[in-house]
Structure 1
Amino acid sequence: MERRSFLKKAGVGLAAGAVAMPAIAQNAPTIKWRLASSFPKSLDTIYGAAETMAKNVSEATGGKFQIQVFAGGEIVPGPAVFDAVKDGTVEMGHTASYYFFGKDPSYAFDCAIPFGMTNRQLDAWFRHGNGSKLMGELFGKSNIIPIPCGNTGVQMGGWFNKEIKTVADLKGLKMRIGGYAGAVLSKLGVVPQQIPGGDIYPSLEKGTIDAAEWVGPYDDQKLGFNKVAKFYYYPGWWEGGPQLSAYVDAKKFAALPKEYQSILMLACSDAHVDMMAKYDAKNPTALKQLVGSGTQLRQFPKPVMDACYKAAMELYAETSAKNPEFKKIYDDYKKFMADQNLWFRIAEGSYANYMYGAK
Structure 2
Amino acid sequence: MDRRKFLKSAGVATAGAGAATLATPALAQSVRDMVIVSTWPRDFPGLGLSAQRFAERVTALSDGRIKTQYFAAGERVGAFDVFDEVASGNSQAYIGADYYWTGKHAAFGYFTTVPFGMTAPEWNAWIRFGGGQELWDELSGEFGLKKFAVGGTGAQAGGWFNKEINSPDDLQGLKMRIPGLGGNVMSKLGVSTVSLPGGQIYENLVSGAIDATEWVGPFNDYFMKFYEAAKYYYVGGMHEPGGGLALGLNKDWWESLSSWEQAIIEAAAHEENSAQVEEAIAKNGEYLNRLVNDHGVQVRAYSDDVWDAFGDAALEVFEETRAHSALAAKIDDHFQKSLREIGGFRAKSEIEFSLQRNRVLGIG
Structure 1 and Structure 2 fold alike (TM over 0.5) = yes
Q: Secondary structure of 2:343's partner?
A: helix
Letter in 2 for 1:260: E
**Alignment deviations for residues 171-230 of structure 1 (CA, whole Å, 9 cap, x no partner):** 001001121211111111010011221121121111111111100111111010111101
Aligned residue number for residue 246 of structure 1: 247
CA contact (8 A) 1:25 1:61 kept: no
**Alignment deviations for residues 83-124 of structure 1 (CA, whole Å, 9 cap, x no partner):** 111111100110100001111111111111111101111111
Letter in 2 for 1:206: S
Q: Does 1:336 align with 2:338?
A: yes
Quote the offset at 1:25 in angstroms. 6.2
Q: Kindly, what percent of the aligned residue pairs are identical?
A: 35
Aligned residue number for residue 294 of structure 1: 296
**Alignment deviations for residues 248-294 of structure 1 (CA, whole Å, 9 cap, x no partner):** 11111111121110010000000111101111111111000111131
Aligned residue number for residue 212 of structure 2: 211
Aligned residue number for residue 141 of structure 2: 140
Tell me how far apart the structure 2 counterparts of residues 327 and 47 of structure 1 sit (CA, whole Å).
Answer: 33
Tell me how far apart the structure 2 counterparts of residues 210 and 327 of structure 1 sit (CA, whole Å).
Answer: 34
Give the TM-score, by structure 2 length. 0.90
Structure 2: gaps spanning 5 or more residues: 1-22
Quote the offset at 1:26 in angstroms. 3.5
CA contact (8 A) 1:155 1:241 kept: yes
Q: Secondary structure of 1:238's partner?
A: coil
Letter in 2 for 1:71: A
Q: Does 1:199 align with 2:200?
A: yes
Tell me how far apart the structure 1 counterparts of residues 349 and 46 of structure 2 sit (CA, whole Å).
Answer: 30
Q: CA RMSD in A?
A: 1.5
CA contact (8 A) 1:25 1:64 kept: no
Q: Secondary structure of 1:180's partner?
A: helix
Seen in structure 2, the aligned counterparts of structure 1 residues 30 and 290 have a Cα distance that, compared at 3 Å, is same
Compare 81-90 and 191-200 and name the one that shifted more. 191-200
Q: Secondary structure of 1:358's partner?
A: helix
CA contact (8 A) 2:43 2:49 kept: no
Aligned residue number for residue 226 of structure 1: 227
Aligned residue number for residue 356 of structure 1: 358
Q: Secondary structure of 1:331's partner?
A: helix
CA contact (8 A) 2:115 2:182 kept: yes
Moved over 6 A (4+): 22-25
Structure 1: gaps spanning 5 or more residues: 1-21
Aligned residue number for residue 273 of structure 1: 274
Quote the offset at 1:236 in angstroms. 2.0
Quote the offset at 1:247 in angstroms. 0.6
Tell me how far apart the structure 2 counterparts of residues 113 and 182 of structure 1 sit (CA, whole Å).
Answer: 10
Aligned residue number for residue 328 of structure 2: 326
Give the TM-score, by structure 1 length. 0.91
Tell me how far apart the structure 1 counterparts of residues 183 and 143 of structure 2 sit (CA, whole Å).
Answer: 25
Aligned residue number for residue 83 of structure 2: 82
Number of residue pairs matched by the alignment: 338
Larger radius of gyration: 2
Seen in structure 2, the aligned counterparts of structure 1 residues 335 and 282 have a Cα distance that, compared at 3 Å, is same
Q: Does 1:345 align with 2:347?
A: yes
CA contact (8 A) 1:25 1:62 kept: no
Aligned residue number for residue 310 of structure 1: 312
**Alignment deviations for residues 148-170 of structure 1 (CA, whole Å, 9 cap, x no partner):** 00000000011000000001000
Compare 50-59 and 75-84 and name the one that shifted more. 50-59
Letter in 1 for 2:308: D
**Alignment deviations for residues 24-68 of structure 1 (CA, whole Å, 9 cap, x no partner):** 963543111110101101423112222222222212221111111
